[in-house]
Structure 1
Amino acid sequence: MAYAKKDVLDAFGPRLRELRRRRGMTLAELAERTGINESTLSRLEGGGRRPTLELLLSLAEVHAVPLDELVGAPHTGDPRIHLRPVTRDGMTYVPLSRPGGVQAHKLLIPPGPDTEPELRTHAGFEWVYVLAGRLRLLLGDRTVVLGPGEAAEFDTHVPHWLGPDDHRTVELLVLFGHQGERAHLRARTT
């Protein structure tokens, strides 16, 4: 653990006192605004009492600060995923998740040469959601065309191929995984 809970709790009282003083409030004024008696506030500021969630919520509301700031919680880091796009077989995969479990990608498939599509198989399930363009999905002996806002899910053991239905790039949200909830299919068979 990168921080000690005791250190965070020990620093709470002085932080609370500083917040009150910066706002030019007395203990009596803070007590009136929070509904917490002056004695309790004094003990919180002096470190003689540990705060409860109920007290923290009232204090954060009056001071107009997030709970993390009020208690001096450690920074949790940047939640954004910073992975680089990969181009494979003419398609650009933009990873939207970290490795492990279900993998999410934004997939860009540009129009390719007018050759016979090569159906492939692999383990798992695949979910596709069309963001832009028209997707042609060959799934076994079926052809399914999906437009923006339409989704499909299939077992990737079934021979399949994905590509644009016309001469424009198709943009997809794709989830690859071993198993999962079934997605609805709203597509036309041609």
Structure 2
Amino acid sequence: MEDKTSPFKVILGSSSIARRKILAEMGYEFTLMSADIDEKGIRKETPEELVIALAEAKAEAILHRLPIGDYIKEAEPTLLITSDQVVVYEGAVREKPANEKEAREYIKGYSSGHAATVGSVLVTNLKTGFRKGEWDRVEIYFHEIPDEVIEKLIEEGTVLHVAGGLLIEHPLIKPYVKQVVGTTDSVMGLPKALTEKLIKEAL
């Protein structure tokens, strides 16, 4: 593996444990900042536009808290990475389930069916002001998911905290994932190839 101790710094603008893990797997060292935004206040026509707008709103919120002048003066650039993700099911955007009842409905819908994740990555170079974002879409097909598995998932609780109540790496659900068209890292919140590409462009 190539050495990524490179002449730039990275801030991950997210509190997601999965995104943190993926960025670390990519070999980057980074600091964390989370953006407190009203996600419900942002609405767009398509899921693709929505996730880009949310990643931009997160970047803006974090930028307001940073001493930008200091970053401009520094020799090496600092890159801020923000991202967002939604689940799309039958054309409708799904965010985190409101309660157990909704989580149950969501997962029953995936049984023998399919859903997609649409995720965005936005990289902002704090030194130059360069900013670019793109989105990535992954299609996920499921076998039939038995009711008792759905109940176990809800009892266990993780599904209540993820967009669309959708998990594919969870040991309870993994056996019922038929096909993933795209990459697992993208489903988990940060597409590695896209992030790598945007980092290169931002430098």
Task: Verify same fold: TM over 0.5.
Answer: no
Give me the TM-score of the superposition, normalised by structure 2. 0.20
**Between Structure 1 and Structure 2, which shows a larger proportion of helix residues?**
2
Give me the TM-score of the superposition, normalised by structure 1. 0.21
Question: Which of these two proteins has the greater Rg computed from alpha carbons?
Answer: 1
